[in-house]
A and B are shown apart, each in its own frame.
Chain A
Amino acid sequence: MSGASHDRPADRQGEAPIIELIDVDKWYGPFQVLRGINLAVGRGQRFVICGPSGSGKSTLIRCINRLEEHQRGRIVVDGVELTSDLKQIEHVRREVGMVFQHFNLFPHLTVLENCTLAPIWVRKMAKAEAEKLAMQYLERVRIPEQAGKYPGQLSGGQQQRVAIARALCMNPKIMLFDEPTSALDPEMIKEVLDVMVELAESGMTMLVVTHEMGFARTVADQILFMDQGEIVEQSDAETFFTHPRSERTKAFLSQILHN
């Protein structure tokens, strides 16, 4: 299990980070949700973001593919700065896959069509090629036999694995996970986490908002703890769990590990 965390290609010196946030601030109306966020994620690194609800962790990763707009500071993803320029936003979105808490599969399309839609229409891939690619990823998330079904016919865990396959079909350089297991029944959490661990082992750059501390310990290079819109603490997994620095982190950990 722990083999994955020793392999850290991103620690190579001198390489520019694939995601960089510099002094990012964001408000919802008068309420500040992100305060002076600075973050640099290297190619192939796995970041886990945790923190109490309302701490801004979902907002943070949603800023990275511009589902949310930041109002101050800079966000650079894969060498492209996110501004109001639609071309650049769509470029970034092509390279960044996202998995949502509520799966957000397209209910009117089959599993296979969910996976092939973006490759065909955005990447301009031939249909047969896209289907081959989709089946490859559906096999990887272990549900190729469901390809012809509609999302409504699948369990939550299966739907979330389809959502992961759908994002992977765009061959993204980065994968964002926004509480991917929070809406799942307990018995389905493992099947989704297993897929995510495998993905991490394959060297994918990942940002994961989650409360699954077991997963964080297994795959995270870095763990961020956020509270009230700030990154309170950032450290490697070992340090984070054994020697948390701030009191807020300690309080959070004692609550979450207790349950």
Chain B
Amino acid sequence: MATAARAPSSPPPRSTRGALGWLRANLFGDLKSTILTVLALALIVTALPPLVRWAITDAVWGAVGPDVCRKADGACWAFIHEKYRLILFGRFPYDEQWRPLVGMIVLIGVLAVSCDRRFWRPWLGAVWIAGFAVFFGLLWGGFLGMSFVETRLWGGLTLTLILSFVGIGVSFPVSIVLALGRRSHMPVVRALSVVYIELIRGVPLVSLLFMASFMLPLFFPVGVNVNALLRAQIAIILFTSAYLAEIVRGGLQAIPRGQYEAAEALGLGYWLRMRKIILPQAIRTVIPPIVNSFISLFKDTSLVAIVSLTDLMLATRQAIADPNWRAYFIEGYIFIALIYFAFCFFMSKYSQYLERQGRTGHLRARDMA
């Protein structure tokens, strides 16, 4: 082979290799970073042991009353043990709480399957629809011997997942339509998209939630009563899709003119050009800001508390309101912070994974379309 004739390359200098090399390069490179490293170490050494003592060794675990916690120095995880069902399921009838539990497991299961690109086929859409059908079927009940449960009793993590999953699932396609509309050659379509996007972006989500809850019903015909959950969901979708639309538009603008022209020259019509050529590339370039928006949406669902929907946040506040456990709000907030973090961190990591796939050029167009 031709490569065999090449002169052997010499190894890099010793000092840049191995663990010692890494330490020198990253932690003790010069005086300034040495000082910072020592300071950081000191901070960890002083802060970590008390934290471990509070959170683990001195903490109170298991099914015990608040009186035990009062005598202990550490965290009162017994509070979580006592209240986790309220936090996860809200005021859903206690004996029926297996239903939202199974529902959430189904939804998260479908999400897990969707993460594998091998399954990005048209049938995955059907799987999602089936997943949502099972989920909402379980929650509503009213068949197969399951009692009917009104949406105002839905709550906790269940409600947060509904608002965010449906919010993401609906606002993303809507945002694509809006972004395409804003770049349309048809003046009316373009004007409608611009007005929509600018109006919604100019208003805080809180006021949208208020308007959806209290003003929207005024416009409905007498007797038509759209439930509170759906109204809040609509507000979240309206809000998120306006933001996403601008992100998608940014992606569309990043696609060189030549791509449009090549697709046109092959005789592809507008929708085919968008679906097969432009959108797959455009959306790939804006994966990081899109996921950023999804993460925002997930956390912003906690604002629905102001229209009296018991999401993860409000359910936790209700748990804390119990006079017996009032002292242990920190434990409560840490618990839901971990839940929020788990979902957001997953989204962030998955977005990085998708980006890496895109860079190596193996993310396929039909996967995105």
Residues of A whose CB lies within 8 Å of any CB of B are: 65, 67, 86, 90, 93-94, 96-98, 100, 102, 104-109, 113, 117-118, 121-122, 150, 152-153, 166-167, 170
Given contacts A100-B258, A102-B258, A121-B276, contact A108 B363 (CB under 8 A): yes
Q: Find out whether the CB atom of A107 lies under 8 angstroms from the CB atom of B281.
A: yes
Q: Does B262 contact A (CB under 8 A)?
A: yes
Residue of B261, B269, B277, B361 near A150 (CB, 8 A) is B361
Closest beta carbon of chain A to B365's beta carbon, Å = 5
Residue of A65, A90, A100, A108 near B364 (CB, 8 A) is A108
Cβ-closest 10 pairs across A and B:
A104-B262, A104-B258, A94-B267, A118-B266, A98-B265, A93-B267, A150-B361, A122-B267, A108-B365, A109-B365
In this complex, how many residues of chain B approach chain A with their Cβ under 8 Å: the count is: 23
Q: Does B259 contact A (CB under 8 A)?
A: yes
Q: Find out whether the CB atom of B265 lies under 8 angstroms from the CB atom of A117.
A: no
List 15 other contacts, CB 8 Å, given A67-B264, A106-B365.
Answer: A67-B261, A86-B269, A90-B269, A98-B262, A98-B265, A100-B265, A104-B259, A104-B261, A106-B262, A108-B365, A117-B268, A121-B276, A122-B267, A152-B361, A153-B361
12 contacts between A and B (CB under 8 A): A67-B265, A86-B269, A96-B265, A100-B258, A100-B262, A104-B261, A106-B263, A108-B284, A113-B364, A117-B266, A118-B267, A122-B268
| Residues of chain A within 8 A of B56, CB atoms compared | none
Q: Does B280 contact A (CB under 8 A)?
A: yes
Q: Does B52 contact A (CB under 8 A)?
A: no
Closest beta carbon of chain B to A66's beta carbon, Å = 8
Q: Does B272 contact A (CB under 8 A)?
A: yes
| Residues of chain A within 8 A of B365, CB atoms compared | 106, 108-109, 113
Q: How far is the CA of A113 from the CA of B362 in the complex (A)?
A: 13
Closest beta carbon of chain B to A23's beta carbon, Å = 25
Given contacts A100-B258, A121-B272, contact A106 B277 (CB under 8 A): yes
Q: Find out whether the CB atom of B280 lies under 8 angstroms from the CB atom of A93.
A: no
Residue of A67, A100, A118 near B268 (CB, 8 A) is A118
Q: Find out whether the CB atom of B363 lies under 8 angstroms from the CB atom of A122.
A: no
Closest beta carbon of chain A to B233's beta carbon, Å = 33
Of A93, A96, A100, A105, most buried by chain B (CB within 10 Å of CB) is A93
Q: How far is the CA of A98 from the CA of B264 in the complex (A)?
A: 10
Q: Find out whether the CB atom of B268 lies under 8 angstroms from the CB atom of A121.
A: yes
Could you mark each residue 351-362 of chain B with 1 if its beta carbon is under 8 Å from any beta carbon of chain A, else 0? 000000000011
Residue of A nearest to B269 (CB): A90
| Residues of chain B within 8 A of A150, CB atoms compared | 361-362
Q: How far is the CA of A109 from the CA of B278 in the complex (A)?
A: 12
Residue of A nearest to B270 (CB): A86
Given contacts A94-B267, A108-B281, A113-B365, contact A122 B262 (CB under 8 A): no
Closest beta carbon of chain A to B124's beta carbon, Å = 19
| Residues of chain B within 8 A of A152, CB atoms compared | 361
Q: Find out whether the CB atom of A167 lies under 8 angstroms from the CB atom of B284.
A: no
| Residues of chain B within 8 A of A106, CB atoms compared | 259, 262-263, 277, 281, 365
Residue of B266, B280, B362 near A122 (CB, 8 A) is B266
| Residues of chain B within 8 A of A108, CB atoms compared | 280-281, 284, 361, 363-365
| Residues of chain B within 8 A of A118, CB atoms compared | 266-268
Closest beta carbon of chain A to B362's beta carbon, Å = 8
Q: How far is the CA of A206 from the CA of B150 in the complex (A)?
A: 70
| Residues of chain A within 8 A of B361, CB atoms compared | 107-108, 150, 152-153
Closest beta carbon of chain A to B354's beta carbon, Å = 13
Q: Find out whether the CB atom of A166 lies under 8 angstroms from the CB atom of B266.
A: yes
Q: How far is the CA of A90 from the CA of B266 in the complex (A)?
A: 9
Q: Find out whether the CB atom of A122 lies under 8 angstroms from the CB atom of B284.
A: no
Q: How far is the CA of A53 from the CA of B41 in the complex (A)?
A: 66
Q: Find out whether the CB atom of A170 lies under 8 angstroms from the CB atom of B258.
A: no
Q: Find out whether the CB atom of A97 lies under 8 angstroms from the CB atom of B265.
A: yes
Closest beta carbon of chain B to A158's beta carbon, Å = 15
Closest beta carbon of chain A to B279's beta carbon, Å = 10
Q: How far is the CA of A170 from the CA of B272 in the complex (A)?
A: 16
Closest beta carbon of chain A to B210's beta carbon, Å = 43
Q: Find out whether the CB atom of A105 lies under 8 angstroms from the CB atom of B262.
A: yes
Residue of A nearest to B281 (CB): A108
| Residues of chain A within 8 A of B256, CB atoms compared | 104
| Residues of chain A within 8 A of B264, CB atoms compared | 65, 67, 93
Q: How far is the CA of A105 from the CA of B281 in the complex (A)?
A: 12
Task: Mark out the residues of chain B between 165 and 206 whose CB falls within 8 Å of any chain A CB in the assembled complex.
Answer: none
| Residues of chain B within 8 A of A97, CB atoms compared | 265
Closest beta carbon of chain A to B125's beta carbon, Å = 19
Residue of B nearest to A87 (CB): B269
Q: Find out whether the CB atom of A100 lies under 8 angstroms from the CB atom of B266.
A: no
| Residues of chain A within 8 A of B269, CB atoms compared | 86, 90
Q: How far is the CA of A97 from the CA of B272 in the complex (A)?
A: 18
Closest beta carbon of chain B to A137's beta carbon, Å = 14
Closest beta carbon of chain B to A68's beta carbon, Å = 10
Of B256, B259, B262, most buried by chain A (CB within 10 Å of CB) is B262
Closest beta carbon of chain A to B67's beta carbon, Å = 63
| Residues of chain B within 8 A of A153, CB atoms compared | 361
| Residues of chain A within 8 A of B268, CB atoms compared | 117-118, 121-122
Residue of B nearest to A96 (CB): B265
Residue of A nearest to B259 (CB): A104
Q: How far is the CA of A238 from the CA of B121 in the complex (A)?
A: 57
| Residues of chain A within 8 A of B258, CB atoms compared | 100, 102, 104
